[in-house]
Amino acid sequence: MALWQVEFMIIPKDRLSYENNIGEIDIPSLWIGYQIKENSINEVEKVLKRSKSWSEDIVQLGDVSETVIELFYDGDMIEEITCRLDLRNINIKTVDIILSFINTNNLAIIVDKKIYTDINRQLVVDLIKESDAYRFLNNPEKFLDEI
């Protein structure tokens, strides 16, 4: 992941229980039997074009050095979905398409070992502003001095 990217994992919301400790969640098991609506993937592809991944088991929407969603498969079953937002050129249209994908499929996100289930534009903006990527882009020298 690049310094200018904010990364989050996408997981099925209805597979979570309040007893889940983030360290104990077996992400691939959450996806067993869970289906993503194909039309929601098609909507994402209108903004993040499908591109070749390093693995045949990954559907890559976007470029890995920019904004990208990666769907990791084991055969026909999803095992994991990740998203990285490129803060160098992020725009509302892309954020809204990703939010639509998440909400259409009843998904949650994990950012910095915290689970978020009520996903909206304001939450994403807040998470961006709290991120290392945001700090890096606003003042690279200070950020690098602090690490």
24 pLDDT higher than 80: no
Count of domains forming the chain: 1
**What one-character-per-residue DSSP string does 114-132 give?**
EEE-S--HHHHHHHHHTSH
- Sheet of 77-86: strand order equals 50-51, 58-62, 68-74, 77-86, 5-12, 107-111, 114-116
- pTM for the structure as a whole: 0.90
With 60 as the cut, is the pLDDT of residue 19 above it? no
At 143, the pLDDT band (50, 70, 90 cuts) reads confident
pLDDT classification of 70: cutoffs 50, 70, 90 = very high
Parent domain of 130: 5-146
Average pLDDT of the residues in 60-89: 95
Mean pLDDT of 30-34: 93
